[in-house]
Amino acid sequence: MSRRFIEIAALTDAGSVRQFNEDSIVADPDLGVAVLADGMGGHRAGEVASRMAAQVMFDRLHAHITGFRSTAGPHSSLQAVDESINRANRAVFDAARAQSSYHGMGTTLAVTLFYDNRVALGHIGDSRIYRLRDGVLTLLTRDDSLLRDEIDLGLISAEDAGESHNRSLVTRALGIEERVRAHLTEDDARGGDIYLLCSDGLSDLVDEADIELIVGGLQPNLPLAASHLVQAAKDNGGYDNVSVILAKVLQPFSAASQQRWTLRWFGWLHGTGR
């Protein structure tokens, strides 16, 4: 039972100002799945969009992993993430078309799938994925946001972005069109690595040096690290909903060992194995 590959701590909070929380998070360490979505749309439709996207993502990824573990490889976790994103996009898009109060709703997305010593990363919008390795925090995603474009075009500097009022303007979202292009990448996941998925309620209010310090310093206690991140965002104003998922790689997790682990767990359930 102690053969967990991934440890996960996840936390979402409405923040200090907003009444509602339009972020949604779903995570499962046994599956190696973490999904975070930051919804948008009037009349609390953002809540609906983010919850629907996170749930469809999770259900689809669950089905993919179950397939991976019961059949011989090779399996592409990137393809699984891509297919899941398309299904989630379609679900939100269809719901938005079916009900007028949901019209125009959409959501950002950040997703990680840990499989076979690698992690498949997917994202849309301004939710981010970071990795802490050897004490150094690295941003692995590029925001789909107006600010990011402004910086890339040299209109403003990354530092000036702190003074901008364009912080919540995203240039791509899930559920808005019939199809969505997600950003998909893969990374080697090493023992000790910590992946952080977060909504802009964190990255807009807590600078990267402080995120690095909190995740690095409190990593022996992942839930405490997660609550400190949320608390730091709220202490700095907490203007937006804030969500974080920390996923720590505890040990190598080759496909073979994951399969064995699942089988042993299954056998134990049925009283045949140990």
Q: Which residues bind another protein (CB under 8 A)?
A: 17-18, 22, 38-40, 46, 106, 108, 125-126, 128, 139, 142-153, 155-156, 158-173, 176, 181, 200, 203-208, 210, 213-214, 217-218, 220-221, 224, 228, 231-232, 235-237, 239-240
Residue 162: Cβ within 10 Å count: 12
For residues 142 and 187, give the distance between their C-alpha atoms in angstroms, rounded to a whole number. Answer: 15
For residues 100 and 92, give the distance between their C-alpha atoms in angstroms, rounded to a whole number. Answer: 13
Nearest distance from C-beta of residue 170 to another protein, angstroms: 6
Nearer to another protein, 159 or 188 (CB): 159
Nearer to another protein, 105 or 255 (CB): 105
Nearer to another protein, 110 or 218 (CB): 218
Q: How far is residue 162 CA from its own chain's centroid?
A: 23
- Exposure string over 254-271, b if 16+ CB within 10 A, otherwise e: ebeebbebbeeeeeeeee
Nearest distance from C-beta of residue 147 to another protein, angstroms: 4
For residues 201 and 192, give the distance between their C-alpha atoms in angstroms, rounded to a whole number. Answer: 26
Nearest distance from C-beta of residue 41 to another protein, angstroms: 9
Nearest distance from C-beta of residue 152 to another protein, angstroms: 6
